[in-house]
Structure 1
Amino acid sequence: MPKISQKGIDMPASPIRKLTPYADQAKKSGKKIYHLNIGQPDIETPEIMLNALKNIDFKVWAYTPSEGTASYRNKLTEYYNKINYNIQPTDIIVTNGGSEAITIAMQACLNPGEEVIIPEPFYANYNGFACSSDVVVKPIISYIDNGFALPSIAEFEKVITDKTRAIAICNPNNPTGYLYSREEMEALKELCLKYDLFLFSDEAYREFCYDGKEFISPMHLEGLENHVVVFDTVSKRYSACGARIGCLITKNKELYQTALKFAQARLSPSLEGQIAGEAAVDTPDSYFQAVSQEYTARRDTLVKGLNAIEGVFCPNPGGAFYVVAQLPIDNADKFCQWMLESFDYENETVMMAPATGFYSTPGAGTNEVRLAYVLNQDDLNKALTCLQKALEIYPGRTI
């Protein structure tokens, strides 16, 4: 039998989806599962976006330009310039989800074997994108004790080598919900200028900042224009994960033209997704205000509930809709699987993502899980009850 590639062997499984077979089996046995494992919001997609899909009227479902339609990129420019990015439509490449934007940037900015530094825990699929692009992830660990704040610049400098080409951040962070401060962003700016590095900024959760905290993008920092690559998506902002429309933004013209070649190789992003995305830009502010209030309430419910469980610690995140919690368990992967295979409380259980998959450092996150507060407060409270009952009887409890 022919052998599969080494890259295929090395490709990591998603900690968000790898337990799905166990969840499917649990459902078949009649259990109700509270899905806190994945960032699939239950918030309704804006009506203006759905209506744009319903009213599509074309005779030929044609290719679009590889960089995206002019009308959508013009509309996106309006959105970004309202938040002071000072960009042109020619700075945007529309992609098939934010995932493709990240992959294109890695392929356009780094040679095989070169390195990108990423504070961890980080979005698990960065490992997969790096593997498929022959890029090496150099993790810089952050700690739950201080809420996963950005590690010191000295820690970054320890791992910078002649192969280092970029630093990547997700702000607000997935999986921790940490929101980077202006001081932290300025420190990253100076580091990128000192070592001539790209700064990748994943901003999928830009709209989800709580308690009046300020969102700072590297696009807001003067003097970094040729270093910054922003990744964005409609998935979270408009609760439209299935649209699979994202974008890559850079003012670096040489990088833009290079990235465009990769975009041309995959032909084009979807026409219908761009139509919906263009309409979505006119979503009223009231939609985001209501969503922010709802997520703030859900965050407060989940964080308070987690910290009320004996042996559990969960910092209060400043953004996104995730938390990483430390549990009194021996192994997060075993525990999350056990929750689906062997546990139920009143025929209900909880699906979570083991945090080990959000780290590159071996052994990190073994007693941590990521939970997404994408369910209503009543369901969150029921999930918390299940978790508490599970921890009381879990064979691998450590305290």
Structure 2
Amino acid sequence: MLDVQKIRKDFPILNRTVNGKPLIYFDNAATSQTPQQVIDVIVDYYSNYNANIHRGVHSLSQEATDAYEQARIKIQKHFNAKHSYEIIYTAGTTHSINLVANGFSSLLKKGDEIIVSALEHHSNIVPWQMLCERTGAILKVIPMNENGELILSDYDALLNEHTKLVFVNHISNALGTINPIESIIEKAHAVGAAVLIDGAQSCPHLKPDVQALDVDFYVCSAHKICGPTGVGMLYGKEEWLNKLPPYQGGGEMIAEVSFEKTTYAGLPHKFEAGTPNICGGIAFGAALDYMNNIGFENIAKYENELLAYGTEQLLKIEGLKIYGTAKEKTSVISFNVGTIHPYDIGTILDKMGIAVRTGHHCAQPIMDFYKIPGTIRASFMFYNTKEEIDTFIVALKKAIMMLS
């Protein structure tokens, strides 16, 4: 069992007030909060060994390089990648997806087909649309049902010998649906297609094993996993990363440069042009240390309790409708109340110190499916409590009464 009160002491921001009320932070699907243990690592880097990496012979550079590469190994072990050089540091999930999409510009031709799901975040839709515009490839979509689950029989029908790529999120940021990615990957591989899984929403709640999944690409962001913003990861199988051309040109990603010809460095540096977010990479590793110390099985069990409790309490409110009722889901609840606009409720909740997300959550096709402008989204992490949910319910009822 988690000692939640002890864990909460690790997060300084949870002690602050908002509009004179104790902060209740239920916007974890947008970004998680950062524990003091990770903040200390960031401060230590800038206080004691801030230097550029890989090229310096002086001590600070070597210390920074060692810490940065050790963090890469932590990430490799966490996701069970076969090699550390299969872990590419990026600016986050969106950057990772665009890197792969750019690389496939030279590998696809007119008439090739790629598949996304109806549950995707815009960052796992728009880059593939742009790729289709550049190459003449055709984008197809796995539809969803009213519960917010993918219709897998339709996915089976979409797959054929022209399918080259499949892109699906592990967990929907808007609805919390956990997609059956093992089956999706296996079926894609059966027709020779590669698979990219957007793990931005899954990595805070579970621990993906990329080798067991046999996934070709897996991406995530550190700021969803108690780490800093501006850094993330692209995992790619070695054979695929070797096929893709560099995403950007510059320092670090080269072997030799002349005005006649440039040759590129090997993995992972081929995809890491320029000075990286050194501190971010080191803190990413520290955040994984923190969460692994708590234990992802413990996190999942506790967050499922929060999900069940929050769902039960919300459904007692007259006129409230939850969107996303998949059998397998994580601690995200999207809902509306009657005809009240979600923005109005979110604004009043903020006045009471409660942070929720309102809008389409960068998943507008989902909102179009339900024919709604957006939802109120409450998303929980392991540092949230049932008592906070109780306070949230009381505040929500006040907001509804004011707006009715």
TM-score normalised to the size of structure 1? 0.68
Letter in 2 for 1:203: G
Following superposition, the deviation at residue 31 of structure 1 comes to 10
Match of 1:310 among 318, 321, 338: 318
Following superposition, the deviation at residue 101 of structure 1 comes to 0.9
Match of 2:39 among 27, 32, 50: 50
Structure 1, unmatched stretches of 5+, are: 1-26, 210-214
Following superposition, the deviation at residue 273 of structure 1 comes to 1.2
Match of 1:337 in 2: 343
Map 1:174-189 to 2 at 5 A.
174-180=173-179, 184-189=180-185
Following superposition, the deviation at residue 248 of structure 1 comes to 1.0
Cα 1:118–1:35 shift into 2, 3 Å: farther
Match of 1:385 in 2: 394
Letter in 2 for 1:385: V
Cα 1:63–1:301 shift into 2, 3 Å: farther
Following superposition, the deviation at residue 388 of structure 1 comes to 3.6
Conserved 8 A contact 1:356-1:365? no
Cα 1:59–1:175 shift into 2, 3 Å: closer
Q: Which of the pair has more CA radius of gyration?
A: 2
Map 1:243-392 to 2 at 5 A.
244-256=230-242, 258=244, 260-262=246-248, 264=271, 267-283=274-290, 285-288=292-295, 291-292=299-300, 295-314=303-322, 315=325, 318=328, 320-325=330-335, 327=336, 329-330=338-339, 335-339=341-345, 351-355=356-360, 357-360=362-365, 363-367=368-372, 369=375, 370-374=377-381, 376-391=385-400
Question: What is the distance in 2 between the residues matched to 1:74 and 1:159?
Answer: 42
Conserved 8 A contact 1:339-1:350? no
Cα 1:361–1:165 shift into 2, 3 Å: farther
Following superposition, the deviation at residue 88 of structure 1 comes to 0.6
Letter in 1 for 2:235: I
Question: What is the distance in 2 between the residues matched to 1:115 and 1:389?
Answer: 50
Match of 2:170 in 1: 171
CA-to-partner distance for each residue in 1:287-325, whole Å, 9 max, x for gaps?
A: 246655653443233212222222334437755542233
Cα 1:356–1:112 shift into 2, 3 Å: farther
Cα 1:218–1:92 shift into 2, 3 Å: closer
| Residues 1:233 and 2:225 are matched in the alignment | no
Aligned residues: 342
Residues 105-114 or 85-94, more deviating:
105-114
CA-to-partner distance for each residue in 1:56-92, whole Å, 9 max, x for gaps?
A: 2336445889xx9676455444554466x35112212
Structure 2, unmatched stretches of 5+, are: 1-17, 57-63, 249-269
Letter in 2 for 1:168: F
Question: What is the distance in 1 between the residues matched to 2:350 and 2:42?
Answer: 41
Question: What is the distance in 2 between the residues matched to 1:64 and 1:163?
Answer: 44
SS of residue paired to 1:55: helix
SS of residue paired to 1:53: helix
Letter in 2 for 1:118: V
Letter in 1 for 2:211: M
Match of 1:192 in 2: 188
Question: What is the distance in 2 between the residues matched to 1:89 and 1:352?
Answer: 36
Map 1:24-43 to 2 at 5 A.
36=26, 39-40=29-30, 43=33
Identity of aligned residues (%): 12
Cα 1:284–1:323 shift into 2, 3 Å: closer
Letter in 1 for 2:167: A
Following superposition, the deviation at residue 51 of structure 1 comes to 2.9
Following superposition, the deviation at residue 43 of structure 1 comes to 4.8
Following superposition, the deviation at residue 199 of structure 1 comes to 0.8
Cα 1:187–1:307 shift into 2, 3 Å: same
Match of 1:122 among 101, 120, 123: 120
Conserved 8 A contact 1:177-1:317? no
Conserved 8 A contact 1:176-1:323? yes
Question: What is the distance in 1 between the residues matched to 2:240 and 2:351?
Answer: 59
CA-to-partner distance for each residue in 1:85-137, whole Å, 9 max, x for gaps?
A: 35112212111122211111122125598764232333243344446656676
Cα 1:304–1:172 shift into 2, 3 Å: same
Conserved 8 A contact 1:202-1:230? yes
Conserved 8 A contact 2:334-2:378? yes
Cα 1:292–1:261 shift into 2, 3 Å: same
Cα 1:72–1:112 shift into 2, 3 Å: farther
Match of 1:98 in 2: 93
Cα 1:87–1:265 shift into 2, 3 Å: closer
Following superposition, the deviation at residue 208 of structure 1 comes to 1.0
Following superposition, the deviation at residue 155 of structure 1 comes to 0.8
Conserved 8 A contact 2:170-2:198? yes
Following superposition, the deviation at residue 391 of structure 1 comes to 4.5
Question: What is the distance in 1 between the residues matched to 2:366 and 2:292?
Answer: 40
Letter in 2 for 1:235: H
Conserved 8 A contact 2:231-2:284? yes
Letter in 2 for 1:106: A
Conserved 8 A contact 2:32-2:223? no
Match of 1:143 among 136, 142, 145: 145
